[in-house]
């Protein structure tokens, strides 16, 4: 099975947890061969242990006990815990987008940005342990680091190209827009890192005060996305709280 099958299942059932997505896939579309089913059970157990214990603390024994298999069965499919973790995290990197998409023509650009940012925050909260493991594994495994970078590049390229389509042909430099997409996506990465992966209590107190819900936070951050990507466009009315104040500030700045 490939990453797409996880993504398709996740999209259909809309689980926020990657662990739940793997479990649902195994339940609804199990491999026909027993050996492949056992491998998927071990991957699911690995995902659960990564989320619960973290990469460094996780042991092969933890995985096999969770999967209900003998230690010897584990080594039939994976040479060590690192290989099992990489199998899981290589799929996980496709599960969580690094930032907003802006190319959906059925919604306004702002609504698409807001909905995707809200989804990213929600998924990050539901998979904080796995996201922490991603950061740990990137430091130790260059091949995984390269995979994450490639996924990010593909995502930011999609974002920048979808934005460029909103401008007259030749009006926007593609490389410059790609840099903007990287910058905005990195803002989202850092926000969720400080809120849910390695909590920054000062930031948490601030967000609890002015953006107490994930929707309110997504609204506020999406104003920054929208103003940066579409500086001449009017920010939609009806925003509240911090999002409205940031929108007012950006509108006043745009008029000066």
Query: pLDDT tens-digit profile of 5-42?
Result: 444 433 454 689 999 999 999 999 999 999 999 999 99
Q: Is the same domain home to 47 and 68?
A: yes
Grade residue 108 by pLDDT with cuts at 50, 70 and 90: confident
Domain CATH number, residue 74: 1.10.10.60
Q: Virtual CA dihedral for 17, 209, 190, 236, nearest 10 degrees?
A: 90
Query: What pTM does this model have?
Result: 0.85
What is the arithmetic mean of pLDDT over 65-88?
A: 96
| 3-class SS of residue 196 | helix
8-state DSSP, 172:
S
* Mean pLDDT across the chain: 89
Query: pLDDT tens-digit profile of 167-215?
Result: 999 899 999 999 999 999 999 999 999 999 999 999 999 999 999 999 9
At which of 84, 107, 140 does a domain end?
84
Please report the DSSP string for 55-90 in residue order: TTT--HHHHHHHHT--HHHHHHH-SSHHHHHHHHHH
Query: pLDDT tens-digit profile of 147-180?
Result: 999 999 999 999 999 999 999 998 999 999 999 9
Domain count, the chain: 2
Grade residue 107 by pLDDT with cuts at 50, 70 and 90: confident
For 120, the domain range is 96-255
Q: Is the same domain home to 105 and 225?
A: yes
């Amino acid at each position: 099975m490939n990453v797409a099958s996880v993504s398709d299942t996740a999209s259909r059932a809309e689980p926020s947890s990657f662990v739940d997505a793997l479990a649902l896939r195994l339940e609804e579309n199990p491999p026909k061969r027993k050996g492949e089913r056992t491998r998927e059970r071990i991957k699911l157990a690995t995902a659960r242990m990564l989320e619960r214990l973290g990469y460094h603390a996780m042991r092969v024994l933890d995985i096999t006990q969770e999967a209900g298999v003998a230690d010897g069965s584990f080594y039939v499919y994976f040479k060590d815990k690192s290989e099992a973790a990489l199998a899981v995290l290589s799929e996980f990197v496709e599960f969580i987008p690094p930032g907003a998409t802006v190319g959906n023509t059925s919604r306004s650009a702002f609504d698409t940005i807001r909905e995707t940012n809200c989804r990213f925050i929600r998924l990050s909260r539901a998979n904080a342990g796995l996201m922490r493991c991603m950061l740990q594994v990137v430091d130790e495994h260059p091949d995984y680091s390269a995979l994450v970078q490639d996924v990010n590049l593909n995502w930011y390229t999609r974002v920048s190209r979808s934005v460029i389509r909103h401008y007259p042909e030749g009006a926007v430099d593609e490389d410059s827009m790609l840099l903007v997409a990287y910058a905005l996506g990195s803002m989202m990465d850092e926000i969720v890192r400080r809120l849910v992966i390695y909590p920054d209590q000062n930031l948490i107190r601030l967000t609890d005060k002015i953006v107490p819900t994930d929707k309110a936070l997504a609204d506020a951050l999406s104003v920054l996305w929208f103003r940066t990507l579409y500086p001449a466009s009017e920010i939609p009315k009806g925003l509240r709280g911090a999002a409205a104040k940031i929108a007012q500030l950006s509108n006043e700045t745009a008029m000066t």
